[in-house]
């Protein structure tokens, strides 16, 4: 059970969720065939570089410098500096998405990810919150927002996302990385902030 929980935590590492979200977005025909097919691969790769590779390289550098004890950032007090660098890297991704002409609601949801990360960072100064659950909460919200804009009903995908959120929460608890409340708060933060930011441009 511990091994499965660790594998699940690694596959659904928070830094990978923007990439997962972008891949899912490009699977929707009414989005892809409109204007963005030619940008599919470079967009996904750029988002992966900015939101996953760059923050991971920073964390590895911090570990080498002795500023963090593990790349999992298990120690709450070691999370602030990596969060700051992650926020700046995510901001660069927002600029990139805006510059290539992505719809405002996509850019806005990415902005929501940044604000949810800032909120978690601030709460983390006093109390540990699950970034894993915040990330998948944001993905669940993004699926709902995209469904509004593209007039689709992704009930199966949304159901899978919520089930996965439950499994991921269980994994974090099994690994003793978080309490049930910390996973619940993380999910609620990610879902609420991304959903609200996505709604800012619901008619755009």
For the chain, residues with pLDDT lower than 70 are 29-38, 70-74, 76, 78, 201-204
72 φ/ψ angles, rounded to the nearest 5 degrees: -75, -10
pTM for the whole thing? 0.89
Whether the CB-CB separation of 183 and 169 falls below 8 Å is answered with yes
The half-sphere exposure of 48 on its side-chain side, counting CA atoms within 13 A, is: 9
Greatest Cα-to-Cα distance within the chain, rounded to the nearest angstrom: 49
What tokens appear for 157 in the block?
């995908």
Helix (H, G, I), strand (E, B) or coil at 200: coil
> pLDDT by residue (tens digit) across 63-120?
787 777 766 666 767 688 888 989 999 999 999 999 888 888 889 999 999 999 999 9
The torsion of the CA quartet 86, 92, 98, 104, rounded to 10 degrees, works out to 20
Q: CA 155 → CA 14, 24, 140, distances in Å? A: 23, 14, 11
129 φ/ψ angles, rounded to the nearest 5 degrees: -120, 145
What tokens appear for 85 in the block?
């660098």
The pLDDT of residue 142 is: 94
- Cα–Cα nearest to 170, from 161, 160, 158, 179: 179
For the chain, give every domain's residue range.
Answer: 2-199
Whether the CB-CB separation of 90 and 18 falls below 8 Å is answered with yes
What tokens appear for 38 in the block?
């030619």
């Amino acid at each position: 059970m511990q091994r499965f929980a660790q594998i699940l935590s690694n596959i659904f590492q928070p830094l990978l969720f923007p990439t997962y979200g972008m891949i899912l977005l490009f699977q929707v025909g009414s989005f892809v065939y409109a204007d963005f097919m030619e940008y599919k691969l470079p967009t996904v790769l750029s988002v992966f570089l900015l939101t996953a590779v760059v923050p991971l390289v920073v964390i590895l550098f911090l570990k080498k410098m002795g500023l963090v004890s593990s790349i999992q950032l298990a120690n709450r007090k070691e999370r602030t500096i990596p969060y700051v660098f992650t926020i700046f890297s995510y901001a660069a991704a927002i600029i990139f998405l805006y510059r290539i002409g992505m719809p405002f609601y996509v850019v806005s949801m990415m902005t929501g990810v940044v604000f949810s990360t800032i909120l978690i960072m601030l709460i983390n100064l006093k109390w540990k919150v699950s970034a894993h659950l915040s990330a998948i909460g944001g993905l669940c919200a993004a699926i709902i927002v995209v469904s509004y804009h593209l007039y689709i009903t992704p009930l199966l995908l949304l159901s899978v996302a919520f089930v996965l959120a439950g499994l991921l929460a269980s994994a974090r608890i099994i690994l003793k990385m978080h309490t049930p409340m910390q996973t619940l708060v993380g999910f609620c933060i990610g879902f609420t902030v991304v959903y609200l930011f996505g709604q800012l441009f619901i008619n755009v």
